[in-house]
Structure 1
């Protein structure tokens, strides 16, 4: 595969990035994706500082290739997390859910490549102004926490591309080589894929959750809890409880009380499919089996190359 802005920026073989997902992307998944030629990401969002440190050290032993860490900036121990990332010599950091101005200059000063995740043109431009090296523009098809604007990937990517001069990574609703090619034709320099890697052997999420992702059909996820932080979830008992509460015009406090603590951990990590929060993308309807991460990377790239060959026939 020819080098491009993203493969050059991260020094990787393919412009394919595994998303940093809470409760799913520990060192095993990140190192497997990096070893297969993509960019693996450790999702720090579900890790205490000491746990992150352990994952970083294990990942460095498991791969000689570049890997990254995703840091949601809503994190309570943010300073401690960033100190560990710097001390452990992490070379690439993806930030999300916060102001990129806060940490970008500090990380860049340490020689770290910084990427920020956004869901709109406005925030893509703010990230560029903050000095990030690339932007992930994520459409509302994506799993987990999401943009309030509900802009889909197909409309978001060309709109961001039109205004942005730094490299652009597309995310949301991409799980195949054809999807990857479509995103790149629309202007992306690479893609970030989450849901497909949840259904991998190496994902740290619970087997029950992986199986539910594989069994999910079209229409079985929905964006909810916009008043707190919009999140796309599989429909289960907890989701139905949220929907039921909305019929009573709840206050923000009512929603917070229902959500409680560690709801995502309960669902995705502990495998409680009834009471847990099960974050996954719309593309789960196209995911039919659980495979090794290296196989997923290989199949996506093979399909990408095959689809590229078919283009002249159109």
Structure 2
């Protein structure tokens, strides 16, 4: 499956595992890369020394390309970037902010740069800044996504119409059928997060993984737009947030409610009551925790079957 993205990253399949906080450590990234996709270490939930350790262990676990995701809002971003350069990482995904400050530095060090966007406007800015590709992430996604709530079905063709660099689709993609749909709409590849949360190698807590598997349609909701839009599984913390809105909380009060390490409490430590549980709408289609390689191969098989079914539709 050679195209612009597989050539850019030197991978076998146009499947990228998202760099999710508290889930995307070296075990998951190396497993996906070894299976022919692109694994990503999520630096957003790591101290600099922890990131260094994960990069080193990932290099020991795979000889295939892998990437690091760096949120632009990370407080010690300079330290993360220095570690990435020092450790010889060749691909960096940036998110949650403006990548322009770091693009020249990264590219001068031979690094391929990809930025995650939630709108056509941000995609155009990223292209103008010099990124090598963009991830366009729709409203269905579990991570921090756009305030405009543009769905993947609309966002992908809209971005494709405006940009010339390779396009990776994200948000609501967890099956081979969804992968095919995204590529028909103009994507060169897909980035998948939630499905890999429910993998054996994900560093997220087993209780959180089980909660994801149990999720049904309507069990997630996009909220906290005043801070950074995030999709949460409904639990006590989510209800606390809704009560805060009903009581007219200001953004500063919402920030105090969120507090520190709320996401770690939920997704990494397994507190399903008071923790923040980030996951996408596609969780309703996830029914089993499996090894990452098995997930990737299942998506590829379903993709190929979907291609055959679409071929049968030509008679119409």
TM-score, normalised via structure 1 length: 0.99
Deviations 1:12-57 (A, max 9, x none): 0000000000000000000000000000000000000000000000
Does residue 193 of structure 2 align to residue 194 of structure 1? yes
- Give the Cα separation in 2 of the matches to 1:59 and 1:105: 26
d(CA) in 1 for partners of 2:231, 2:135: 18
CA distance in 1 between partners of 2:168 and 2:100 (Å): 19
Q: Does 2:152 correspond to 1:146?
A: no
When the two structures are aligned, how many residues end up with a matched partner? 313
**Equivalent residue, structure 1, for 2:253:** 254
* TM-fit CA distance, 1:145: 1.0
Per the normalisation by structure 2, the TM-score is 0.99
State the Cα deviation string for residues 270-290 of structure 1 (Å, max 9, x = none). 000000000000000000000
2: CA distance between counterparts of 1:238 and 1:5? 42
The match for 1:10 is: 9
Query: What is the 5 A alignment of 1:87-106?
Result: 87-106=86-105
Q: Which residue matches 1:245?
A: 244
Deviating above 4 A after TM superposition, structure 1's stretches of 4 or more consecutive aligned residues are none
Output the aligned Cα RMSD. Answer: 0.5
Is 1:292 matched up with 2:309?
A: no
Tell me how far apart the structure 2 counterparts of residues 244 and 58 of structure 1 sit (CA, whole Å): 43
1:263 maps to 262
Query: Cα distance, 1:303 vs. partner?
Result: 0.7
Say yes or no: does 1:179 pair with 2:181.
no
Q: Please give the residue correspondences for 1:152-167 in structure 2 after superposition, counting only pairs within 5 Å.
A: 152-167=151-166
CA deviations 1:147-174 (Å, max 9, x no partner) are 1010000000000000010000000000
Distance 2:180 2:263 in 1: 32
Q: CA deviation at 1:299?
A: 0.3
| Structure 1 partner of 2:209 | 210
Distance 1:252 1:14 in 2: 42
- Separation of aligned partners in 1, 2:56 and 2:141: 29
Per the alignment, residue 75 of structure 1 pairs with: 74
Give, in whole Å, the separation in 2 of the partners of 1:257 and 1:109.
40
Paired residues for 1:22-61 under 5 Å:
22-61=21-60
Corresponding residue for residue 300 of structure 2: 301
Q: Which runs of 5+ in 1 are unaligned?
A: none
User: SS state of the match for residue 14, structure 1?
Assistant: coil
* Aligned equivalents of 1:168, 1:147: Cα separation in 2: 17
Deviations 1:185-208 (A, max 9, x none): 000000000000000000000000
**Distance (Å, rounded) in 2 between the aligned partners of 1:286 and 1:311:** 21
Q: Can you give the 5+ residue segments of structure 2 that lack an aligned partner in the other structure? A: none
Secondary structure of 2:157 counterpart: helix
Matched, 1:225 2:234: no
1:254, distance to aligned residue in structure 2 (A): 1.2
Q: Deviations over 1:57-91 (max 9, x none)?
A: 00000000000000001000000000000000000
Task: Please give the alpha-carbon distance, in whole angstroms, between the structure 2 residues aligned to 1:130 and 1:96.
Answer: 14
